[in-house]
């Protein structure tokens, strides 16, 4: 345990809420969070859909919550119909961007190369990428989980120089078949995969950069009942929450568990 790292609790609302619902849920969570003690140093990040960002952005200066987007394009301006640039996200008070979520790798055929370009553009705009990696069930069955995750991390970051203290990058380890299934993997298994990811970062960057710039979090069917068993693991710096983040009680329950664990991290 480092003793200096705060835990990250990241909500991914996907395409589940309309604008009014997004705004209402954000306000409810914000209200609850303001009533909680010992949240200093805790990173609560919410990623609504693009269309909900401008309204929520107005509330950001008055809240402890940080805002993230669910995707980004790799150019700043140009003839790219339907795309959203990193600078546009900054205009919406975003600090974080999900990159390479498995929904996008699966349905939109996003490749490691596209993920790489998005990370580069995100960092150039001083936004923090949340780089999603994880193996499919088939890859796991074939004994290729370590290989797949090392490949995704390495290709995502290859050739990207990082400057100490000016960058925060998050790697989210999400075993693909577990996402939305209601059944997370064993927390010790997740801890092992986090160690694999850390080792692949050490192969790419000096230890100081790995320790200061990177956080590694787990995602996949997290809820308030099981979150503690993940957060107490030495290499797990937080969680990425999908379904359970759409329910105020559940999400606040997760944050409360994190507050308890934070004291000992
Ligand atoms: P889940 O989603 O928590 O519903 O499994 C996680 C994610 O897709 O990032």
Q: Cα(70) to centroid of ligand 1, in Å?
A: 12
Considering the domain boundaries, does residue 79 fall inside one?
Answer: yes
Find the mean pLDDT for residues 113-133: 97
Number of domains present in the structure of the chain: 1
**4 pLDDT tier (thresholds 50, 70, 90):** low
Considering the domain boundaries, does residue 2 fall inside one?
Answer: no
Considering the domain boundaries, does residue 186 fall inside one?
Answer: yes
Range of the domain at 35: 8-262
Ligand 1 in contact with 187 (CB < 6 A)? Answer: no
Question: 47, 51, 137, 24: which is closest to 95 by C-alpha?
Answer: 47
Q: Round to whole Å and give the CA distance between 76 and 56.
A: 22
For residue range 64-103, list pLDDT tens digits in order. 999 999 999 999 999 999 999 999 999 999 999 999 999 9
Catalytic residue flag (residue 139): no
Catalytic residue flag (residue 188): no
Residue 229 has pLDDT above 80, yes or no: yes
What is the model's pLDDT at position 3?
45
CATH number of the domain that 229 lies in? 3.20.20.70
Residue 245 has pLDDT above 50, yes or no: yes
Considering the domain boundaries, does residue 102 fall inside one?
Answer: yes
What share of the chain has pLDDT > 70, as a percent? 98
Ligand 1 in contact with 179 (CB < 6 A)? Answer: yes
Tell me the pairing of strands 43-47 and 214-219.
Answer: unpaired
Find the mean pLDDT for residues 30-47: 92
**189 pLDDT tier (thresholds 50, 70, 90):** very high
Q: Cα(172) to centroid of ligand 1, in Å?
A: 11
Q: What is the mean pLDDT of the chain?
A: 95
Q: Looking at 110, 135, 174, 250, which residue is catalytic?
A: 174
Here the tokens at position 235 are: 């290499």
What is the model's pLDDT at position 2?
40
Considering the domain boundaries, does residue 155 fall inside one?
Answer: yes
Residue 131 has pLDDT above 80, yes or no: yes
Considering the domain boundaries, does residue 139 fall inside one?
Answer: yes
Exposed/middle/buried for residue 108 (C-beta within 10 Å: 0-12, 13-18, 19+) = exposed
Question: What sign results for the dihedral spanned by CA atoms 20, 49, 133, 170?
Answer: negative
Residue 56 has pLDDT above 50, yes or no: yes
Considering the domain boundaries, does residue 3 fall inside one?
Answer: no
Q: Cα(208) to centroid of ligand 1, in Å?
A: 30
Residue, of 45 and 39, whose pLDDT is higher: 45
Considering the domain boundaries, does residue 1 fall inside one?
Answer: no
**1 pLDDT tier (thresholds 50, 70, 90):** very low
Q: Which of 71, 136, 173, 221 to mutate to test the pocket of ligand 1 (most atoms within 8 A of CB)?
A: 221
């Amino acid at each position: 345990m480092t003793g200096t790292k705060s835990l990250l609790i990241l909500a991914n609302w996907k395409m589940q809420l309309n604008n009014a619902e997004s705004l209402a849920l954000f306000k409810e969570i914000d209200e609850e969070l303001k009533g909680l003690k010992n949240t200093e140093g805790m990173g609560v990040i919410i990623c609504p859909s693009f269309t909900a960002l401008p309204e929520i952005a107005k509330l950001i200066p008055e809240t402890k919550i940080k805002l993230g987007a669910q995707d980004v394009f790799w150019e700043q301006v140009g003839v790219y119909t339907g795309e959203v640039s990193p600078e546009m996200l900054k205009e919406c008070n975003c600090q974080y961007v999900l990159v390479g979520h498995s929904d996008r790798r699966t349905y939109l055929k996003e490749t490691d190369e596209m993920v790489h370009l998005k990370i580069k553009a995100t960092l150039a705009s001083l936004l923090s990428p949340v780089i999603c990696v994880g193996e499919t069930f088939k890859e796991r069955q074939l004994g290729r989980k370590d290989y797949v995750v090392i490949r995704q991390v390495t290709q995502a970051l290859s050739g990207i120089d990082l400057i100490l203290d000016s960058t925060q990058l998050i790697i989210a380890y999400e075993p693909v078949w577990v996402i939305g299934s209601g059944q997370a993997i064993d927390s010790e298994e997740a801890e092992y995969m986090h160690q694999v990811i850390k080792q692949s970062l050490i192969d790419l960057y000096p230890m100081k950069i790995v320790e200061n710039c990177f956080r590694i979090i787990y995602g996949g069917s997290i809820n308030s009942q099981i979150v503690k068993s993940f957060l107490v693991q030495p290499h797990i710096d937080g969680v990425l929450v999908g379904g359970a983040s759409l329910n105020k009680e559940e999400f606040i329950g997760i944050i409360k568990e994190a507050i308890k664990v934070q004291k000992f991290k």
